[in-house]
Amino acid sequence: MRRDVFQAIADPTRRQIIHLLAGNALTLNGVAENFDISRPAISKHIKILTECGLITIRQEGRERICKAELNKLKEVSEWVTQYRAFWNQKLDALERYLDSTAPPKKRAKK
């Protein structure tokens, strides 16, 4: 099953794994050492991240090395940017409306 990036980043543990691997590649055990959950649980998170393309795993001898593929987060960034522009326009319009309906400010007496 191919998962999407949004499904992967919905989970806080997976976001932490991405953050951890953004700095440098780690073995599966190296990733698991940073969490207080079982190794099988980490493997499940890694599988989901791999399925959506946010990490890749390469075999080096007996070790499996995980590496973040952050360019896949561009999809998320583009989606958020579209809504950021929408809400900025709405909030700017609200600000203009509130400014136009507000009573004039009184000057302080000296």
4-31 tens-digit pLDDT:
888 889 999 999 999 999 989 999 999 9
* Residue of 91, 56, 73, 94 lying closest to 8 (CA atoms): 73
30-63 pLDDT per residue, tens: 999 999 999 999 999 999 999 999 999 999 999 9
Residue with tokens 């709405």: 90
Q: Give the single-character DSSP code of 60.
A: E
* Residue of 53, 28, 54, 52 lying closest to 41 (CA atoms): 28
Annotated domain spans of the chain = 5-70
Are 5 and 53 in contact, with CB atoms under 8 Å apart?
A: yes
Domain 5-70: give its CATH code: 1.10.10.10
pTM assigned to the model: 0.72
Instruction: Tell me how far apart the alpha carbons of residues 45 and 39 are, in angstroms, rounded to a whole number.
Output: 10
